[in-house]
Amino acid sequence: MQAKDAPHAGAAQRLLARARALSPAESAGIPWLPALNGEEREIALRDLKVVQVDTGELLCRVGRPVTYWFGVIDGLLKMSNDTALGVPITFTGIPPGGWFGEGTVIKREAYRYNIQALRRSVVAGLSEQTFHWLLDRSIPFNRFITQQLNERLGQFIGAREIDRMPDTDGRVARSLAALFHPVLYPGVGGLLRITQQELGYLVGLSRQRVNEALKALQAAGLIAIEYGGLRVLDLERLRRFGAG
């Protein structure tokens, strides 16, 4: 290992040292567990680890080898990278219930993105070895992963469209709708706990501009701004907002 990689490896080791077993309440919120048979579920539960990731802390870093498949139990993460010019680009936010990185785990390659906590978050991880063990033997697990990959592809195609939208209200609307994806993020429900600053980080706008956009969306009857979060009133209209 090169000397410059040592701090990154040390950060990963510190995260692993803080990891613990899942609680029954946490395991009940994992969407793919109920589809496994008894033996598979028992092995997965023994393997799963939970760690608290502090605000600003990196869970995954570009270039580091994959070790776990991750899912958000609570909190909010950001998937991002830097362009060739060093400009940061955000791919998506990951709210509660979201599992991510299955493509990287399947290919056993290094991460091509950073995963950073926008707030203190609780994250579960299934080891690469157990992930592949389940992939080799469980048809329901394969169906879940296939659906994840398919929905994620659609999400990233939508993200490219959002980036090209000149209407900032539309960008906020579409980005917000993406966080209410019932398949990718089943833990969100009807209320997304997110601040205007956090949404600004995900959309690439200032908190003030996000505030203006949210007020416009609320006036249009698409969302309700509540204490500590946002409630979607019409998801389909929110997804189409700003379309020509």
Q: What is the CB neighbour count within 10 angstroms for residue 20?
A: 9
Q: Are 122 and 27 in contact (CB under 8 A)?
A: no
Structure confidence by residue, pLDDT tens digits, 71-111: 999 999 999 886 555 556 778 889 999 999 999 999 999 99
Tokens of 38: 């008894």
Q: Which 3 state secondary structure label does DSSP give 240?
A: helix
Confidence of residue 132 (pLDDT cuts 50, 70, 90): very high
Tokens of 65: 């080898």
Question: pLDDT exceeding 90 applies to what percent of the chain?
Answer: 60
For residue 129, the one-letter residue type is Q
Is residue 202 predicted with pLDDT exceeding 70? Answer: yes
Q: CB neighbours of 102 closer than 8 A, spacing ≥ 6?
A: 69, 131, 145, 148, 149
More confident position, 115 or 244: 115
Tokens of 238: 């929110």
Q: Which 3 state secondary structure label does DSSP give 194?
A: coil
Q: Are 123 and 70 in contact (CB under 8 A)?
A: yes
Q: What is the CB neighbour count within 10 angstroms for residue 7?
A: 9
Structure confidence by residue, pLDDT tens digits, 11-23: 677 888 888 999 9
CA 37/CA 33 separation, integer angstroms: 9
Question: The CATH number of 166-240 is which of 1.10.10.10, 3.30.1050.10, 1.20.210.10, 3.40.50.300?
Answer: 1.10.10.10
Is residue 2 predicted with pLDDT exceeding 50? Answer: no
Confidence of residue 162 (pLDDT cuts 50, 70, 90): low
220-229 mean pLDDT: 91
Most confident of 33-42, 182-191, 196-205: 33-42
- Residue ranges covered by each domain of the chain: 3-156, 166-240
Confidence of residue 3 (pLDDT cuts 50, 70, 90): very low
CA 188/CA 114 separation, integer angstroms: 22
DSSP structure class, residue 22: P
Instruction: Give burial (CB, 10 Å; 0-12/13-18/19+) of 3.
Output: exposed
CA 39/CA 138 separation, integer angstroms: 11
What pLDDT score does 156 carry?
73
Question: The CATH number of 3-156 is which of 2.60.120.10, 2.70.98.90, 3.40.50.2300, 3.30.70.20?
Answer: 2.60.120.10
